[in-house]
Amino acid sequence: MPKRSSKKEDINEIAFRVVTESTSEPIPITSAKKRKNPAAVALGKLGGKKGGRARAEQLDPARRREIASNAARARWKNKPD
């Protein structure tokens, strides 16, 4: 049985597609996703690279160890023995 699409098409979109297919005009390809601003992406990457190291330097070793052990427990929680 074929899976149903979870995407609901608007009635106007369907009408547009039918008209363009029937008149043999090429359908313009538009992306539904918004494009990200490359400058903002680059700026975010810079902050992300600095953030983890800066946070680790501020934490004391005991707290860092606690965070790491919690992460390891979460990773291995659902793994079979």
Query: If you search the block for the tokens 């946070």, which residue do you land on?
Result: 55
- Percent of the chain at pLDDT > 90 equals 22
CA dihedral 73, 74, 80, 81 (to 10 degrees): 0
pLDDT digits (tens, 9 = 90+) for 29-51: 666 667 888 898 888 888 877 88
Both tokens assigned to 49: 């690279």
Both tokens assigned to 37: 């601003």
Task: Give residue limits of the domains in the chain.
Answer: 48-81
Which residues of the chain are under the pLDDT cut of 70?
Answer: 1-7, 25-33, 81
Using DSSP's 3-state secondary structure scheme, residue 65 falls into helix
